[in-house]
Amino acid sequence: MRLEALSRNHLMPLVLVLVALATLLPIGASVFLARQQARARQEQRALFYAQDVLRRSEDTANQIGTAFRQLATTPDNPPCSQARRRVLQRIDAVSSYIQFVGRLDRDRITCASYGQFDAPLDVGKPDLVSANGYRIWLDLRFPFAADKRFIGIGTDKFIAVIHKSLPVD
């Protein structure tokens, strides 16, 4: 009889350990799998956002390149003629990312798709110049939109202006 009691005493903790493992193991596995799935969803979402930012940046660059090519093929004499402003307005109207395009003269916008300014808008020296020669202003502000910040991309004669938040909006 003592032998039976001893084996029951040893058997009961073993049964309790097995029951605990049978209960906790699926819960632990579920938590682990849920974390893995959540991480995979976050990575997928981050990749989607990165691809969207890249797409917007490429679309913006394409629109700016198209604008500069069109401006380069139209007569520029005088620089802010009515014909030139019509070309600027057309470029602005068909571009979904460009806020406005303008004519540059010594780091000043003399006229834009909005029209000719009473006084030229001084954009200062560019913050950097790209390998392909584009001049880039990273933090432009204008009197007509003092609470907004813009990015300017320009050549020696023209500038395209976009909202600073556009690529990551």
Q: What is the pLDDT of residues 107-148, one digit of tens each?
A: 999 989 987 778 899 999 999 999 989 999 999 999 888 899
- Measured distance CA(125)–CA(122) in Å, rounded: 9
For position 2, what pLDDT does the model report?
57
- For residue 13, what pLDDT band results from cuts at 50, 70 and 90? confident
Q: Does the pTM of the predicted model rise above 0.85?
A: no
CA 21 to chain CA centroid, Å, is 49
Q: Which two tokens stand for residue 5?
A: 């009691």
25 or 108, which is more confident: 108
Q: What is the pLDDT of residue 12?
A: 74
Instruction: Pull the structure tokens for residue 157.
Output: 């004669």
What is the sign of the dihedral through the CA atoms of 83, 84, 90 and 92?
A: negative
Enter the DSSP assignment of 167: G
Note the pLDDT of residue 42. 92
142 close to 100: Cβ distance less than 8 angstroms: no
Cis-peptide into 167, omega within 30 deg: no
The predicted pLDDT at position 7 comes to: 67
Q: What is the mean pLDDT of the chain?
A: 87
